[in-house]
Amino acid sequence: MESQIGLYKTELIKPRKPWHGLADVEPATAEWVDWFNNQRLHSAMGDIPPHEHESHHHAQHHPQSVAGGDA
């Protein structure tokens, strides 16, 4: 099983080196984290992005109350 830090290093840090300091690494890291959390496709989740999977899960487990129902 791969670790998150291993993925980060393999997918971002190693391919883009040499880095010239934190000013280069910090924005690239923020972009990678955004991609990782919101855009990447994950086979264990049906090849959908994590945020979409979480939305489906939340909708199934926390259905919205019916309008006009008990409040």
14, part of any domain: yes
- Does the residue 60 lie in any domain? no
Query: How many CB atoms neighbour CB 12 within 10 A?
Result: 19
Is 69 part of a structural domain of the chain? no
Residues in a beta bridge with 42: 48
Range of the domain at 45: 4-53
Identify whether 29 is part of a domain: yes
Residue 70 pLDDT grade (very low, low, confident, very high; cuts 50, 70, 90): low
CB of 38 closer than 8 Å to CB of 50: yes
Q: Is the pLDDT higher at 41 or at 1? A: 41
Residue 64 lies in a domain: no
Average pLDDT value for residue range 25-49: 86
**Is position 10 within any domain?**
yes
